[in-house]
Amino acid sequence: MLFESPFSLTLLLLIPLLALWYFKSGIKNQGTLQISSERYTSLEIRRSGLYKKNIILCLHLLITILIIIAISRPQKIDKITENSVNVVDILLVLDISSSMLADDFLPNRLEAVKETAMNFIYNREEDRIGILVFAGESFIQCPLTIDKSILKSLISEIKVASKEYDGTAIGMAIANGTNRFRSSDVESKVMILLSDGSNNSGEIDPITAAELASQFGIKIYTIGAGTDQAYTKIPGRGLIVNEIDEATLKKIADVTGGEYFRATDIKALESIYLKIDELERSEIEINEYTLYKELYGWFLIPALLLSILLFVLKQIIFRVND
């Protein structure tokens, strides 16, 4: 408890002086009655008069103390803290073309990406995250959500696209992702696009799609996944040519204000997602408010009630003159 006018509390130092003055004033104002013998004044009567005077004195002092405390304006201070989180909407755009079965990442590229993406998701407590997969066409695997259990379940179900949908339509994936963000009203919108190939399907050019995404305020981080070797083996299918179109992925990142990363192994992939996690942190604004609750009523009201009691005692019950 604090006091708005603490200087007023110094008046409490006058209470002992007031008590002394009241006591002396009471003696001075007493009349003198000479009685030939004390037997005519009982001890009970004398004690009763002193008792009444003491009650009146205590009530006067208590009322004065309460009023002094009330005019000092006692206050209770409550601090309220509001946390405002500016969340980030993040769309993971994952390549699921057949080349993602290459075993340069163990057990293969796709499984390594799924595991790393899941770890990334669990680090984003406040943000909404969605998943879009693409090969020759793009599909929304999971809309933007904060439900981590749904994301985990749907990520585990991701598989390489069937032969009829095989290919790498990067432009279509970006365009589809941009469309998903159109209903988002958050300030920060991010795509993390991972691919191990070059755009060879779809009707939309990747750079054109990136420029469109940029107009909607969407930042795209691009990741090229695969070793630096010319060929990579796919179990049961033989060798495939590593043809990551780094120039296009870099251009997509540049156009949208993002950044391009190259992941040549699982450790590099993990570090890339960690770096993106650091770059795109949710902003937390902390606003602190102070509320002052006036408490003078807790002292003023009792003082008023005691004043009424004092009046009743003096005028009706005790009939004592000051």
DSSP string, 88-142: EEEEEEEE-SGGGG-TTSSS-HHHHHHHHHHHHHHT-SSSEEEEEEESSSEEEEE
Domains of the chain from N-terminus onward? 2-32+40-78+293-317 (no CATH), 88-281 (3.40.50.410)
Tokens of 116: 């790393």
Q: Which residues of 61-97 are buried (b: 16+ CB within 10 A; e: fewer)?
A: eebbbbbbbbbbbbeeeeeeeeeeeebbbbbbbbbbb
pLDDT at 236: 75
Tokens of 156: 């585990």
What residues contact 272, with CB distance under 8 A and at least 6 apart? Answer: 223, 261, 263
For residues 269 and 106, is the Cβ–Cβ distance under 8 A?
no
Residue 310: pLDDT band by 50, 70, 90 thresholds?
A: confident
Alpha carbons 321 and 315: distance in angstroms, whole number: 8
pLDDT at 180: 92
Average pLDDT of span 147-173: 94
What are 268-287's pLDDT values in tens digits?
999 999 999 988 876 656 56
Tell which residue, 301, 256, 304, 300, has the closest CA to residue 280: 256
What are 58-75's pLDDT values in tens digits?
888 888 898 988 888 888
Asked if pLDDT for residue 311 goes beyond 60, the answer is yes
CB atoms within 10 A of CB 103: 14
